[in-house]
Amino acid sequence: MSVDGWHTLLVLGGIRSGKSGFAESLVADAPMVRYVATAPAGEPDDTEWAARLAAHRARRPGSWTTEETAADPGRLAEVIAAAGPNDTLLVDDLGGWVTVLLDPAHQPADDTATIAELAAAVRASEARLVLVSPEVGLSLVPTTPLGRAFTDALGATNRAVADACDAVALVVAGQTAWLKPAADAHAAPAQPGRATPAHRPVPDPVASARSGSDLAAQPVEVAETPPWAGHDRPAARRPESVPPDAPLPEVFTPAATPPPAPPAAGTGGAGDWAAPTMALPMIATGLVIQPGMELPMPDDYTGPQAVDRLATLDLPGAGLGVLEQVVGFAAATQGTSTPRPWDTVRVLLLHGDHAGGASAGAVPGESARRARQARAGRGALARLAAENGASLQVVEAPGSAPFEDGPALDADQVESALRYGWRLAEQAADAGVHLLVLAACGAGAEAAAAAVLAATAGAEPPAVLGRVVTEQGEIDDNAWMVRCAAVRDALHRTRRSPREAKDVLAELGGGDIAMATGVLLGATARRVPVLLDGPVGTAAGMVSRDLAGQARHWCLLPDHGGRPGVRLAADVLGLTPLLDLRLDLGEGATALAALPLLRSALALAAALPTHPALGGGTEDDDVAEPQPAAPADEPDFAEPAPAGPGPTTTGSDEPVSPGRRAD
**Whether pLDDT at 174 is above 90:** no
Task: Taking residues 615-638, report their average pLDDT.
Answer: 51
Catalytic residue among 587, 625, 634, 654, which? 587
**CA 634 to CA 168: how far, in whole Å?**
90
Give per-residue pLDDT as tens, 429-456: 999 999 999 999 999 999 999 999 999 8
Q: Cα dist. 232→237, 343, 371 in Å?
A: 11, 40, 16
Task: Taking residues 228-245, report their average pLDDT.
Answer: 46
Nearest CA-CA partner of 442 in 381, 365, 503, 374:
365
> Quick check: 142 and 148 in contact, CB under 8 A?
yes
Identify the bridge partners of residue 394 per DSSP, sorted by sequence position: 349
587 is catalytic: yes
Q: What would you measure as the largest C-alpha separation in the chain, in angstroms?
A: 120
- If phi > 0 it is left, if psi is from -120 to 50 it is alpha, else beta; for residue 292 that is left
Task: Taking residues 515-537, report their average pLDDT.
Answer: 93
pLDDT band of residue 426 (cuts 50, 70, 90) is very high
Task: Tell me what pLDDT residue 261 has.
Answer: 42
Task: Tell me what pLDDT residue 613 has.
Answer: 77
Listed ranges 104-113, 186-195, 598-607, 652-661; the one with the highest mean pLDDT? 598-607
pLDDT, the chain, mean? 77
Task: Tell me what pLDDT residue 112 has.
Answer: 85
Give per-residue pLDDT as tens, 360-415: 989 999 999 999 988 888 888 999 999 999 999 999 999 999 999 999 999 999 99
**CA 139 to CA 157: how far, in whole Å?**
17
> 3-class secondary structure for 502-555?
HHHHHHHHHHHHHHHHHHHHHHHHCCCCEECCCHHHHHHHHHHHHHCCCHHHHE
The model carries a pTM of 0.56
What lies within 8 Å, CB to CB, of 126 at 6+ separation is 83, 84, 85, 193, 194, 195
Q: Cα dist. 399→69, 283, 438 in Å?
A: 49, 23, 18
**CA 358 to CA 446: how far, in whole Å?**
8
> 3-class secondary structure for 440-506?
ECCCCHHHHHHHHHHHHHCCCHHHHCCCCECCCCCECHHHHHHHHHHHHHHHHHCCCCCCCHHHHHH
> Quick check: 290 and 547 in contact, CB under 8 A?
yes
> Quick check: 222 and 242 in contact, CB under 8 A?
yes
Nearest CA-CA partner of 408 in 515, 547, 532, 481:
515
**Whether pLDDT at 239 is above 80:** no
Nearest CA-CA partner of 11 in 93, 117, 83, 126:
93
